[in-house]
Structure 1
Amino acid sequence: MLKYFFIRLLSAIPVLFLVILITFILVRLAPGGPFDQERAAPPAVLANLNKQYHLDDPVVVQFKDYLVNLLRGDFGPSFKYPTRTVTEIILTGLPPTLELGLYALLFAMFVGISTGVMAGLKPNSAQDYIPMTIAMIGICLPSFVLGPLLILGFGIGLEWFPVSGWGDSPGDKVLPAITLGAAYAAYIARLTRGGMLDVMSQDYIRTARAKGLSPARIVGLHALRGALAPVVAFAGPAAAGLLSGSFVVETIYQIPGLGRFYLQAAFNRDYTMILGTTIFFATLIILFNFISDVIQAWINPKLRQSLSK
């Protein structure tokens, strides 16, 4: 187990390096620059700005200097907000993004697991067809379509929830969390249903029934642990996707999160901000995938035995 985890941690180093290299090259190849404005600045001013931020150095030298500063924990200053560093901006936008991702993940897990269990217990019935049809609609409906629909229906029409902002009121979190977590809830529901269908046909479930255990005890103590194995494997990428995929939702609901800063950085050609947030999101994705592997190995005895060999 320790050897497996150590190898997984080491494999993250080349992955992060490739992410940094590809992002660094792509932002340089994109048309425009960080100091382009609607009204062009004088050439002398642009030359001084490029010299101040070392953008007049060769690209190889710029990449080497960025890696050296990155190893020191320095993401550099923001080109759009020169008085603030990229680290300060990330720390400012991170709490709303983490909070939104947490609520969306809780919504997706609760709705997806409960719906999948109900559908898996009675396959090929109305209890199966109806929630799985809704789950398929949830998979096909992107967040930039679902968000405005929820705003029109529950925000403007029924006036149940606010349509923008991120304050202390619990109502501010409902529509964004549903918008972000709906697609993942649909995936989790289908994975849970498949896991339940596989587990409920196993011999140990039939043995538990023969012993006279109640259906709730069979599902809760015996079936659910095995049925959730694919959900746990999906939970790591899902958690990372919820955090890194909140750009559209934060823009729709005017949430001052990290995704909104990242989107603005792309429009402003803010090189350091794009690189810093990309590295941060990539690190989160690797971390959540690692945690998912650890939990999956913990709940799956066969996987633990294969890793110990």
Structure 2
Amino acid sequence: MLHSTRENVFSQGFMVVHRHAFLRWIQVLIGFPVHIIALCIYFSKRKSNTYDALFKKKMQDLKQSEAYVNLKRSYEKQYDMKQAYFNRNLKAAEKEKFVQRQLKKRSEAIVQEELGQEVRKPMNYTEFFHRLLTDKRFVLLTFIPGILAYCMYFIYQGAFKRFVFERIVMTVFVIVSVIIIVFTILYISPSDAAANILGESATQAQRDAFNVQYGLDQSYFVQLWHALSGILTFDLGQSYTGNEVIMNSISNRFPVTLVLAISSLILAIVIAVPVGMISAARVNSFWDYTFMFIALIGLSIPSFWQGLIFIITFSIQGDLLPSSYSPGNFLSLIMPIVVLGTGLAAAIARMTRSSMLEVMHEDYMVTAKAKGLTGRETFVGHALRNAWIPILTVIGLQFGGMLGGAAVTEKVFNISGLGSYIVDKQFIPDTPAILAGVVYIAITISIVNLIVDLVYAMLNPRIRSQMKNS
């Protein structure tokens, strides 16, 4: 079989995978058919190779030659001179061991040098398989049975693709872990869903029938498996109350919560980043103290209290905005967006200020000023770009907390969102509904964190360099 000397993405990816013990076993498992075919080719090639036989014959011929006897005498003399120089007693056993070790090493080197011109030494399986992956015929022959392994080689060939893939795998692991943890907490909860829904007047037989209907009489592992398979297949079943289809309830409520969170995030970034930059540029000035004092107030105000004050001021007294949410009326979302974005804007503003102050005295800032760049160019083009990493971290963390903490704001403004839905179901407890709501919030947070990590890599060249070297 002819082999190309040029490496392709599959052979490069294989070598990256092979350097990690865990990944090495994974690629063997998912690419088992490919390795079976490669092993058959490898052993057939190895049988036809005459290197081992020639090597043994050359070694035997060398041992019977006069050169071998002279070589042995020279090593014996070398040992005697060494012991005499250090005034040590000669020991026959040690002398024999030393001479044989040196003879073996030198003889093998001589024979290998002679055989180097006659026949090539056979490769080990790793080298052989790496070379097979450069052959287009072998790849086409084994592509269908080994498609998972080839996908793995393709992903691990590039640092950025490997980074995205590993983050996606980590996200899936986090989601499954959230399902298990939340379900376990609900399972060991002392609340009895049958008693809460049917009421105190319900008989034991009615409660047992309720448990049988919703599978609550089954073991922990059976219920956990049903929960996992239901969420991963988007078949969430029905809630305990009203027999409502949970997937429909989630799909109707989640967009409102997501729009509220994203709008609040955009508002917070638009306001907080310039405020933080101004505070850093005018550190210890009137504007710095004023903005940071307002930010501290924003962090300290409870969202429910701020929401009530907004309703009294802008709805009841001012009659400017609706006091409760109305689908299709964007004006009814203004107050919830401002309330939810207040705390986030305060956190981002404080982090922007501290990050900008931290990088303003770095060496590259001094170099930029020495090159003749203006203060604005240095401040925006160099300081802000390098200060984005901690700012993005705060944005990602706060966005996740905002999705979970939106329940209070949704309750104040009567928004039928996912947060208020989870709170209402918690008092039953309606396990399938709560689990679905929490998991889909976790999915959103994981996606946001993945996007933040990708933005890290695009903004910071040091992270890209670490990805390539890892």
Same fold (TM over 0.5): yes
Indicate which of 183, 202, 205 corresponds to 1:24: 183
Moved more, 246-255 or 102-111: 102-111
C-alpha separation in 1, matches of 2:339 and 2:242: 30
Quick one: distance in 2 between partners of 1:68 and 1:189?
Answer: 42
Aligned match of 2:227 in 40, 63, 66? 66
Tell whether 2:230 aligns with 1:57: no
Does residue 173 (structure 1) correspond to residue 361 (structure 2)? The answer is no
Indicate the SS of the match to 1:245: helix
Q: Could you give the per-residue CA deviations for residues 227-261 of structure 1, whole angstroms, max 9, x where no partner exists?
A: 22211122222222222221000000001111111
SS of the aligned residue for 1:4 comes to helix
Q: Distance in 2 between matches of 1:259 and 1:70?
A: 18
User: Structure 1 residue 218 and structure 2 residue 378: aligned?
Assistant: yes
Larger Rg, first or second structure (1 or 2): 2
Counterparts of 1:281 and 1:55, CA distance in 2? 25
Which residue of the other structure, out of 76, 96, 111, is the alignment partner of 2:237?
Answer: 76
CA deviations 1:170-200 (Å, max 9, x no partner) are 3212210111111111110011101221232
- The aligned length equals 308
| Structure 1 residue 49, shift from structure 2 partner | 1.9
Q: 8 Å contact 2:227–2:432 — kept in the other structure?
A: no
* Structure 2 alignment gaps of length 5 or more: 1-159
Change (3 A) 1:213 1:168: farther
1:288 aligns with 2:448: yes
CA distance in 1 between partners of 2:376 and 2:463 (Å): 27
Aligned mates of 2:466, 2:341 — CA distance in 1 = 34
Percent identical across equivalent pairs? 32
User: Contact between 1:117 and 1:192, CA under 8 Å: does it hold in 2?
Assistant: yes
In structure 1, the residue matched to 2:264 is 104
Instruction: Provide the alpha-carbon RMSD of the alignment.
Output: 2.0
**What code does the residue aligned with 2:211 have?**
N
Separation in 2, partners of 1:175, 1:57: 46
Which residue of 2 is the match for residue 48 of structure 1?
209
Amino acid at match of 2:335: L
Deviation, structure 1 residue 222: 2.9
List alignment gaps of at least 5 residues for structure 1.
none
The 2-side partners of 1:99 and 1:15 are apart by 24
Q: Which letter does structure 2 place at the counterpart of 1:262? A: I
Matched residue, 2:276: 116
Equivalent of residue 153 in structure 1, options 313, 322, 346: 313
Task: State yes or no: 1:6 paired with 2:190.
Answer: no
Tell me what 1:269 maps to. Answer: 429
Greater relative contact order (CA < 8 Å, ≥ 6 in sequence): 1
User: How many Å separate the matches in 1 of 2:404 and 2:165?
Assistant: 25
Q: What per-residue deviation string (whole Å, max 9, x for no partner) do you get for residues 83-114 of structure 1?
A: x2211110000121111111110111111101
Q: In 1, Cα distance between the equivalents of 2:397 and 2:237?
A: 29
Aligned pair partner of 2:392 in 213, 216, 232: 232
Aligned mates of 2:233, 2:329 — CA distance in 1: 39
TM-score, structure 2 length as denominator? 0.62
Contact 2:163 2:467 in 1 (8 A): yes
TM-score under structure 1 normalisation?
0.92
The alignment partner of 2:193 has SS state of: coil
Task: Tell me the distance in 2 between the aligned counterparts of 1:124 and 1:263.
Answer: 44
